Amino acid sequence: MNDEQILEKLKTILAESFEIDPERVQVETNLFDDLDLDSIDAVDLAIKLQELTGKRIKPEDFKNVRTVGDVIVTVRSLLAA
């Protein structure tokens, strides 16, 4: 899965789980400031990403995630592991 495919999957997850317009989801979009996600939403997102990748996300790997680009990097590293 390349970065563009990860971004498209992420747009779908955010739209279905958090009712966020996919047009608002860009690589530089901040999950908390721009999309109004909170810490509970971040946990839900991490669970969805675990389902997507089939791999467990360590809390320390996800706590520094701030932007959509950060999520893409995290997913890419999980898929490569």
Nearest to residue 20, comparing CAs of 2, 32, 6, 28? 32
- Find out whether 78 and 6 touch, Cβ atoms under 8 Å: no
Q: In whole angstroms, what is the distance from residue 39 CA to residue 66 CA?
A: 11
pLDDT average per 10 residues of sequence, the chain (81 residues): 95 96 97 95 92 87 90 91 79
| pLDDT at residue number 6 | 96
Residue 30 phi/psi, 5° resolution?
Answer: -85, 125
| pLDDT at residue number 59 | 79
- Find out whether 48 and 57 touch, Cβ atoms under 8 Å: no
- Dig out the tokens for 6 from the structure: 């990860």
